[in-house]
DNA sequence: GGTTGTGAACAAATTCACAGCG
DNA sequence: CGCTGTGAATTTGTTCACAACC
């Protein structure tokens, strides 16, 4: 198969959502392995570093193309490059955070965003008393500046770090300002127009999920007298909730 | 056997992982609806509030038991109670956070944990210069105090908010101290012994996933024959809906 | 020999559609 | 009639197992 045909075939491949969610983890593992001066890596080793099994790694990578060499493994640098390209990480994405409370503050300070190509370009708040302050070299601006800032900074990714009640309105304003990817930290369900991607991180929900499994282990919901059979761990090695 | 039939049947019902992850969202919706003085709620309405479809709500709730009334809907208070019980939220779970940096700090301050039954009972750090400080009324303690604190506080849930390099060691120490549920915020893969639940929240990974879909919308990875350059400014309008 | 890439088998999750019951 | 509860159908994701290839 010639080069042109191959690239067309790759483009039309639809990558499953579950795979997309794992690519960043593989990428991180590859960076580590590259720092450790490895030049090639097997699916087995990559699986170990990423905390999944080797079959899954191979299947996932196969959606990107046939970048491995049988009998050898994958070239670390080449795979890193292909993966970065696929994830759109060949350039920075300036993000705009709305909500300069506890969490917004912490996120703005969090170096992990900048380090991975997501510099915090602006921090907005609705509270006039917060506007004008400076956090980690970033001016706190008014939410009403959103349209201007999106245009000025060319941001397409927004982060919602407001209280729950404000989340939907902020999402609406982001969408109408031209933001097309939103990460929501507010403990509220928000809806976005077609063409806008949304992901959510709900800190309390994560603890509540842990609480469920914790309690299963402790003997299940107790509405009767003591239960003698202590159910074993519901441990499926592949289940996301359990190690 | 009859005397326990109902509770055994319920207990042995294996609730799918995907369902468990949605229960807290339903619960939050129910609390809202209860605050709004509603006494019953349909699967349709609950679905709307939770951002899913009605069939999924009914299927999910059916794993808890037959708590609805045909032609009417679900009793809000009763369903709230059953769900809280199932999730193990009938009592508080004191959590121990390790890592008093940016994120640990923010989490300790974050009221959302306490409000939902997860009071931050201790904040630990390896850095002696941080130990002895006070955050939101919580003393910062040394990581070496972990065993003592777990015993003293009766905590079974731990939160890792350290840099990536420290994450695995902290997880190990938590597990050996008796912590059986861990929420990991460090951008690193950690493994835990059987019988310990683990969930992870990786902030940068979330943005990277958004970046993938963003870029798909912008026209996919650009690699036409010998041009490895990235698209400069991602301001392409055409948007095949992703979500 | 060693390791990838992938159809085929299997498992989990979602959605459909309607019987069953208030 | 209205809405739940659930089998059946469908879709999505995971794992197996082995041919293909270096």
Task: Assess whether A69 (CB) lies less than 7 A from strand C.
Answer: yes
The most confident of the ranges A188-192, A220-224, B221-225 is A188-192
Q: Under DSSP, is residue B152 helix (H, G, I), strand (E, B) or coil?
A: helix
Q: How many CB atoms lie within 10 A of CB B127?
A: 12
Number of residues in chain A: 243
- Please report, for chain B, the start and end positions of each structural domain, with discontinuous segments joined by +: 2-85, 95-203
What pLDDT, on the 0 to 100 scale, is given for residue B219? 85
Cβ neighbours of B89 in A, within 8 Å: 208, 211
Question: In this structure, are residues B232 and A91 in contact, taking their beta carbons and an 8 Å threshold?
Answer: yes
Q: Under DSSP, is residue A237 helix (H, G, I), strand (E, B) or coil?
A: coil
pLDDT (tens digit, 9 = 90+) per residue, B30-76?
A: 999 999 999 999 999 999 999 999 999 999 999 999 999 999 999 99
CA-based end-to-end distance of chain A? 42
Residue nearest to nucleotide C22 (CA to C1'): B70
What pLDDT, on the 0 to 100 scale, is given for residue B220? 80
Q: Which CATH architecture has domain A3-87?
A: Orthogonal Bundle (1.10)
pLDDT at A223 over 80: no
Task: Say yes or no for a CB contact (<8 Å) between A85 and B196.
Answer: no
Superfamily of domain B95-203: NAD(P)-binding Rossmann-like Domain (3.40.50.720)
Instruction: Please tell me the CATH code under which domain A95-201 is placed.
Output: 3.40.50.720
Q: Which of residues 178-207 of A touch B (CB under 8 A)?
A: 180-183, 187, 189-191, 194-199, 201-207
Give the pTM. Answer: 0.90
Counting Cβ atoms within 10 Å, is residue B38 exposed (0-12), middle (13-18) or buried (19+)?
middle
Listed as ranges, the nucleotides of chain C within 7 A of a protein C-beta are 1-7, 12-17, 20-22
pLDDT at A97 over 80: yes
Closest CA to B43 of B58, B31, B24, B61: B58
pLDDT (tens digit, 9 = 90+) per residue, A44-83?
A: 999 999 999 999 999 999 999 999 999 999 999 999 999 9
CATH topology of domain B2-85: Arc Repressor Mutant, subunit A (1.10.10)
Cβ neighbours of A217 in B, within 8 Å: 180, 195, 197
Element (H, E) at A181: strand A181-184
Distance (Å) from CA B49 to C1' D6? 23
Residue in A closest to B16 by C-alpha: A239
**What are the two backbone dihedrals, phi and then psi, of residue B198, each rounded to the nearest 5 degrees?**
-135, 130
Question: In this structure, are residues B219 and B236 in contact, taking their beta carbons and an 8 Å threshold?
Answer: yes
């Amino acid at each position: 198969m010639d080069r042109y045909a191959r690239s067309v075939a790759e483009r039309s491949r639809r990558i499953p959502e579950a795979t997309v969610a794992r690519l960043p983890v593989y990428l991180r593992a590859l960076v580590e392995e590259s720092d450790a001066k490895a030049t090639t890596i097997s699916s087995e080793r990559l699986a170990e570093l990423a905390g999944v099994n080797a079959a899954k790694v191979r299947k996932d990578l196969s959606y990107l193309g046939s970048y491995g060499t049988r009998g050898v493994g994958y070239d670390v640098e080449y795979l890193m490059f292909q993966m970065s390209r696929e994830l759109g990480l060949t350039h920075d994405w300036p993000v705009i955070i709305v909500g300069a409370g506890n969490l917004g503050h912490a996120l703005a300070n969090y170096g992990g965003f900048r380090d991975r190509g997501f510099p915090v370009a602006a921090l907005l708040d609705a509270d006039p008393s917060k506007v004008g302050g400076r956090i980690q070299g970033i001016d706190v601006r008014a939410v009403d500046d959103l349209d201007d800032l999106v245009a000025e900074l060319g941001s397409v990714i927004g982060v919602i770090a407001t209280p729950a009640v404000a989340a939907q309105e902020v999402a609406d304003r982001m969408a109408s300002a031209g933001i097309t990817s939103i990460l929501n930290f507010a403990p509220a369900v928000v809806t976005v127009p077609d063409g806008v991607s949304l992901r959510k991180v709900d800190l309390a929900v994560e603890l509540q999920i842990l609480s469920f499994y914790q309690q299963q282990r402790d003997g299940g919901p107790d509405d009767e007298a003591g239960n003698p059979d202590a159910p074993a761990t519901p441990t499926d090695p592949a289940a996301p909730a359990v190690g």
